[in-house]
Amino acid sequence: MAEPKENVLMEKLASLCKRRGFIFQSSEIYGGIQGFWDYGPLGAELKRNVKELWWSSMTRMRDDVVGLEATIIMHPAIWRASGHVDTFSDPMCDCLLTKKRFRADQIELQSGNAYHFTGAKDTTSAKEVSEPYAVLLAAGKPPESARKTAAQFYAQRGLQAVELLGERMEKVENSQRFNPENGSLLTPPVPFNLMFKTYVGPTATEADVAYLRPETAQAIFAQFKNVHETSRQKVPFGVAQMGKAFRNEVTPRNYTFRSREFEQMELEFFIKPDEAVEAITGSVTTVPETGHPGEPQPSWGWQAWHHYWVQERVRFYEGIGLSLDTLGFHRQTPAELAHYARACTDILFKFPFSKRDEQGNVAGDELEGIAARSDFDLSQHERSSGKSMGIFDEELRTAFGKLPPEKQTELKDRYYQARLKYLTKSGVPVAEAGAAAQEDADGLAKGQYIPHVIEPSAGVDRLILALLANAFSEVTETDAKGKSETRVVLKFHPRVAPIKVAVLPLLKNKPELAAKARAIFESLRGHMMAFHDEAGSIGRRYARQDEAGTPFCVTVDFETFEGIKDGPQAGVKDTVTIRHRDDGKQERIAASELLTWLLARVR
Ligand code: GAP
């Protein structure tokens, strides 16, 4: 990736995206709407390519994953069962002076001297305000500026000639209670639920409340039984879905990185609980935590599957041009993990806005999370809907029956403990939970269980932004008169490039060149996104395609008709020139071979 200064690069990227029709601000003619973005002609193609590649690699190219396309609005009980109604919130606070809104957990840690005031009075009217207020100053700064800010705060509460009351100074370390921009105290953080509410039907009462889905995943859990029964898949298998998700983010930021409407590509990969694997294969194998573990094995437990999916996803990113050195990894700590999750690895991309640590290293920001979610989601829906989410596994029933009694007891006991933990943590009274967990353990011995799940969950829009940032590069060229010009080249991997090939007649006013170029274009467009351009000098047209990220330009020139002039192929006719975007190199191939040549490189 090119390395201009971070925000300069983001500004250049955003300006290119608008100028070339990748990304526009939603509702721009009305001043825009924060956190919403539209994809223009090139952006729409880029996005479509990314989604098709994900869909193809996740479903069509695998025997063990099928697809789903569910509705955006679902029964609100789904979001109660999943925990989103109660807990899908971010802490929000406002600046007491400017009213600017912050996500409380994202405020940078600040240290310094906090000047507290118990209130203020108006020296002309004797009116008093007894609301406490504080201002944080960097150590060593004179307190006068804190007093000035405090006077502004009390003036907003109706005082004219402000006299501050009850001043005291306190040393503060690593606080998130002050506005980093002006030092003003913030309101206490309050949880803000991120789901967009709407009403289903005309009456718009509380009973009609529904939510725009904040993730695509829950539909997969809700439809698990239908998919399992109709797809003839056996655990382990996965269900993939991509589509819109909506979150009323407190502070959308970093261009499209944190949006309020975005798209997700999610896989729920259902696996057997480790106790079932052990009963069938004798033991649960683990895999080395480095590199791809190879083809899935029946003896894999959740750890091996989790590692496998992290590595599969890294392969996907590498296959579309994000090299390993542009990615990072964050394994969530026990404190960060949701209570039901066993592990979660985030794949990060080093965005231009990603922060550097003290050594100057960039960790990156989340592109995708791969979580091992145990059997929590299906269990929640089973309890909430009253419909069984369990499956019957004949192989397990047979294998369990052949185990020695002490092994049966050991596996049943482990499964019992795991189910008991889930049930008690979900608020089921202990006695009731014990009986239910015992029933589950007895069920395991008969081949019944609720599948566990590994969830690779990626954001389309974040990936688009990563691909744009990764592709962005500038070249400076000096012409014969010594004039330099810097222009942008988007070095997309051909698989994701919005336009795969541009077909250009060398000269517009030569009818035979124009007709041949048009015919070649027509022969390609049914197979890939092709573009035909005859306007302007050939150099300008190449530059336009470089800026759009088109990997190949095909030029029809005089040698196409007259035959190659020099070299071993001299005299050969009906050839075209292919120009490569990244190094400007040109090669000549037979027009009849063009489609095959291109397909081998763009798929
Ligand atoms: N079902 C799990 C889930 O939704 P998440 O980490 O909240 O997990 C998964 O979201 C992915 O969705 C993220 O890694 C990110 O790529 C994308 N995503 C989440 N919130 C987003 C937002 N506000 N704007 C753009 N993408 C977002």
| Residue 366 half-sphere exposure toward CB, CA atoms < 13 A | 14
Nearest-angstrom CA–CA distance, 580 and 593: 17
**How many whole angstroms from 301 Cα to the centroid of ligand 1?**
26
Over residues 143-192, the pLDDT tens digits come to 999 999 999 999 999 999 999 999 999 999 999 999 999 999 999 999 99
**How many whole angstroms from 61 Cα to the centroid of ligand 1?**
25
CA-wise closest residue to 159 among 128, 115, 116:
128
Strands 237-246 and 65-67 turn out to be parallel
Q: What is the torsional sign of CA 548, 13, 216, 339?
A: positive
Residue 169 and residue 136 in contact, taking contact as beta carbons nearer than 8 Å: no
Is 366 touching ligand 1 by the criterion CB < 6 Å? yes
Tell me what pLDDT residue 5 has: 55
Over residues 515-550, the pLDDT tens digits come to 999 999 999 999 999 999 999 999 999 999 999 999
Is 64 a residue whose pLDDT tops 90? Answer: yes
Tell me what pLDDT residue 199 has: 97
Tell me what pLDDT residue 225 has: 97
Mean pLDDT, the chain, whole residue set: 96
Q: What is the DSSP annotation of 104-125?
A: GGGSPPEEEEEEEE-EEEETTT
Mean pLDDT of 570-599: 95
Nearest-angstrom CA–CA distance, 526 and 109: 55
Over residues 121-139, the pLDDT tens digits come to 999 998 999 999 999 999 9
Strands 530-532 and 501-505 turn out to be parallel
Residue 209 and residue 76 in contact, taking contact as beta carbons nearer than 8 Å: yes
Strands 575-580 and 586-590 turn out to be antiparallel
Preceding omega of 236 cis (within 30 degrees of 0): yes
Is 246 a residue whose pLDDT tops 50? Answer: yes
Over residues 406-461, the pLDDT tens digits come to 999 999 999 999 999 999 999 999 999 999 999 999 999 999 999 999 999 999 99
Tell me what pLDDT residue 179 has: 97
Over residues 199-224, the pLDDT tens digits come to 999 999 999 999 999 999 999 999 99
Residue whose Cα lies nearest atom 10 of ligand 1: it is 457
pTM: 0.93
Going from the C-alpha of 583 to that of each of 123, 264, 297, 357, 477, the distances in angstroms are 74, 34, 43, 34, 13
Tell me what pLDDT residue 569 has: 86
Q: Which of 215, 218, 266, 353 to mutate to test the pocket of ligand 1 (most atoms within 8 A of CB)?
A: 215
C-alpha 99, offset from chain centre? 30
For every residue of 296-359, which 3-state class applies, written as one string? CCCCECHHHHHHHHHHHHHHHHHHCCCCHHHEEEEECCCCCCCCCCCEEEEEEECCCCCCECCC
**How many whole angstroms from 367 Cα to the centroid of ligand 1?**
8
Is 457 touching ligand 1 by the criterion CB < 6 Å? yes
Is 567 a residue whose pLDDT tops 90? Answer: no
Over residues 328-362, the pLDDT tens digits come to 999 999 999 988 899 999 999 999 999 988 888 99
The values of phi and psi at residue 44, to 5°, are: -65, -40
Tell me what pLDDT residue 272 has: 98
Nearest-angstrom CA–CA distance, 422 and 138: 47
Nearest-angstrom CA–CA distance, 77 and 543: 54
> What residue ranges in 7-88 does DSSP mark as E strands?
23-25, 37-39, 65-67
Tell me what pLDDT residue 479 has: 87
Nearest-angstrom CA–CA distance, 455 and 341: 11
Strands 209-211 and 110-117 turn out to be unpaired
**Neighbouring C-beta atoms of residue 179, cutoff 10 Å:** 22
Mean pLDDT of 75-97: 96
Is 243 a residue whose pLDDT tops 50? Answer: yes
**How many whole angstroms from 264 Cα to the centroid of ligand 1?**
7
**567 vs 372, which has greater pLDDT?**
372
Is 459 touching ligand 1 by the criterion CB < 6 Å? yes
With cut-offs at 50, 70 and 90, classify the pLDDT of residue 3. Answer: very low
Q: Which two tokens stand for residue 409?
A: 């007891």
**How many whole angstroms from 458 Cα to the centroid of ligand 1?**
6
Residue type, 66: V
Q: Which of 366, 370, 454, 465 to mutate to test the pocket of ligand 1 (most atoms within 8 A of CB)?
A: 366
| Buried/exposed 23-47: b ≥16 CB within 10 Å, e otherwise | beebeeeeeeeebebebbebbebbb
> What residue ranges in 543-595 does DSSP mark as E strands?
552-556, 575-580, 586-590
Residue 407 and residue 109 in contact, taking contact as beta carbons nearer than 8 Å: no
Residue 554 and residue 545 in contact, taking contact as beta carbons nearer than 8 Å: no
With cut-offs at 50, 70 and 90, classify the pLDDT of residue 1. Answer: very low
Q: What is the DSSP annotation of 487-527?
A: EEEE---TTT-S--EEEEES-TT-HHHHHHHHHHHHHHHTT
Residue whose Cα lies nearest atom 7 of ligand 1: it is 215
